[in-house]
Structure 1
Amino acid sequence: MHCRPALVRSLAPLLALTLGVVSVGSADASEFNQVLDVGDKAPAFEKLPTADGKTLSLADLKDKKAVVIVFTCNHCPVAKAYEGRMKAFAEEYGKKGVALVALSVSQEPEDELSQMTARAKEQGFNFAYARDESQAVGKAYGATVTPQTFVLGPDRKVRYMGAWDDSWREAKTAEEHYVRDAVDAVLAGAEPAISEKRQVGCGIVYE
């Protein structure tokens, strides 16, 4: 199922769901996540294959001051719109001891590992791009759209989750930088002023 970016900002949830564009609101575990809440321990993942031919486990990042996990994919235009921002973040915050991990659970043909490898090379990704064929990690995090972001503190508890910023179309139009602000707070030993925002993007289809 493909995302149609012109309709991402639709305010009609039923229409959005029909089109595979999801903006989820649930009060089961948190305001916008049916599985996790801010303050929960982040689910671990182990030996996921990555686009560079290696494997990645959350435990491999144990020395990082913070970890940012972005559920993304190749085919979603909203996810693509954030690739430049993700590269800029990885370049800047990698020097501060922060790891950025892109993680795909998509079952679309263009999101197979070989296609991820090609995309990572083409776009010059400077962060790990991992694949979870089982989709178990996406389910454990309650991920519903691409891109959807989780900021983990040094204790690997969720400190922020939701949208990367408030403007998916162009980085220069964003006024609220949720992920950067949350990571800055974590690095300063503080709690993020905003810990959750509604995720907007292409719906993740679970098998």
Structure 2
Amino acid sequence: MTLKESDSELDRGDTAPDFELRGTDGEHYSPADFADNDALLIVFTCNHCPYAQAKFDHLNELSDAFDDAAVVGINPNANTEYPDDSYENMVELVADETIDYDAYLYDETQNVAREYGAVCTPDPFLFRRVDDEWVLAYHGRLDDALDPDSEPTEFYVEEAIESILAGEEIEHPDRPSRGCSIKWREE
């Protein structure tokens, strides 16, 4: 397992790169599909990484807790050398409710992860709705638990969502997320 820390291609205020990806329900989704929300949390994640698995419950809770915020997981590990991250296994994790986000999408080409500059799983990007666009408000770790066995005491993304929904600026800085490296295919 190669441990990585995120380092964004996007800065606060940048517009979310557009995409259209297949979800575990067979439908295709883009950021515009979540326009009824005030906040959009896109998390590059996967099925097998212990760092990503450690955040499944927290992301499910965020999805349940905020009616005006959408939580979208994107799996960029479309690499045959990592069969645990297959689309079929994504579908199973949603079917058994291990993952219960607003959508879990498959980045089969890995182009979306590249456009966002995602490097690890999990790698969260939080956007706010501004003039019919998604604008980056926070990029960084979900909480202060830096390894899979730690219990978090500070919840950065949750506080950031609360700030967005209250119409306030996010006070805390972006903090690099930490997790397994994205499993890039050989080009």
Return the structure number with greater strand share.
2
| Alignment gaps of 5+ in structure 1 | 4-19, 25-31
Q: How does 1:1-207 map to 2 (within 5 A)?
A: 3=1, 20-24=2-6, 32-33=7-8, 35-46=9-20, 48-93=21-66, 95=67, 97-106=68-77, 107=79, 108-127=82-101, 128-155=103-130, 156-167=134-145, 168-169=147-148, 173-207=151-185
Q: What is the SS of the residue equivalent to 2:96?
A: helix
Identity %: 33
Residues 75 and 124 of structure 1, relative CA distance in 2, 3 Å threshold? closer
| Alignment gaps of 5+ in structure 2 | none
Aligned partners of 1:182 and 1:195 also within 8 Å: no
- Counterparts of 2:105 and 2:5 in 1: how far apart (Å)? 24
After the TM superposition, list the runs of 4 or more consecutive aligned residues in structure 1 that deviate by more than 4 angstroms: none
Give 1:123 deviation, angstroms: 3.3
Return the structure number with greater helix share.
1
- Counterparts of 1:203 and 1:117 in 2: how far apart (Å)? 22
Give 1:65 deviation, angstroms: 0.8
Residues 153 and 195 of structure 1, relative CA distance in 2, 3 Å threshold? farther
The residue type equivalent to 2:17 in the other structure is: P
Give 1:54 deviation, angstroms: 1.7
Q: Deviation string for 1:101-152 (max 9, x for gaps)?
A: 0000102222111111012222343221100101111011110000010110
Aligned partners of 2:50 and 2:148 also within 8 Å: no
Residue of structure 2 in register with 1:16 after alignment? none
Q: What is the SS of the residue equivalent to 1:157?
A: strand
User: Whose RCO is larger (CA < 8 A, sep 6+)?
Assistant: 2
- Matched residue count: 177
